[in-house]
């Protein structure tokens, strides 16, 4: 009986974790804008921008209040720990350039905790990924 329970426990799927990584650049290349300001005939562009960091938000997309987590320094960067109420919308918000460009990735609403891992890339763009359970 004990063997059967141990075997079942070993084979049972572990808690599902969602992992999302920020794109290293956004937009990927210089991108022409389709919107033309009133009474103008020129062309606008958004320049390719490098990943600068990320934060977690709860609530509606494009909200204004970032969540404060528990940062812990680790080799090459930091981990930021967040706790949530299940059911609320959660977002990993990646920021680019001077912070005026953001990319919002929605996380599983059932998750109750997330770890955002931020690592400096040296000459390469930084690496940011969130794991939520």
Residue with tokens 């930084």: 126
Would residue 78 be called left, alpha or beta, if left means φ above 0 and alpha means ψ between -120 and 50 degrees? Answer: beta
Tens-digit pLDDT profile for residues 99-111: 999 999 999 989 9
pTM: 0.82
pLDDT one digit per residue (tens) for the chain, 133 residues: 444 433 344 444 455 799 999 999 999 999 999 999 999 999 999 999 999 999 999 989 998 888 999 999 999 999 999 998 888 899 999 999 999 999 999 999 899 999 999 999 888 899 999 999 9
Nearest CA-CA partner of 117 in 74, 64, 87, 83: 74
């Amino acid at each position: 009986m004990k063997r059967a329970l141990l075997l079942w426990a070993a084979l049972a799927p572990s808690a599902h974790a969602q992992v999302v990584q920020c794109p290293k650049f956004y937009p990927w290349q210089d991108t022409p804008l389709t919107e033309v300001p009133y009474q103008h005939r020129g062309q606008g562009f958004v320049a390719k921008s490098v990943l600068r960091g990320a934060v977690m938000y709860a609530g509606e997309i494009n909200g204004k209040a970032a969540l404060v987590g528990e940062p812990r320094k680790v080799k090459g960067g930091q981990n930021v720990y967040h706790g949530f109420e299940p059911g609320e919308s959660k977002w990993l918000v990646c920021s680019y350039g001077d912070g005026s460009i953001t990319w919002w990735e929605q996380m599983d609403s059932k998750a109750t905790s997330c770890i955002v891992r931020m690592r400096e890339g040296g000459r390469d763009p930084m690496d940011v990924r969130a794991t939520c359970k």
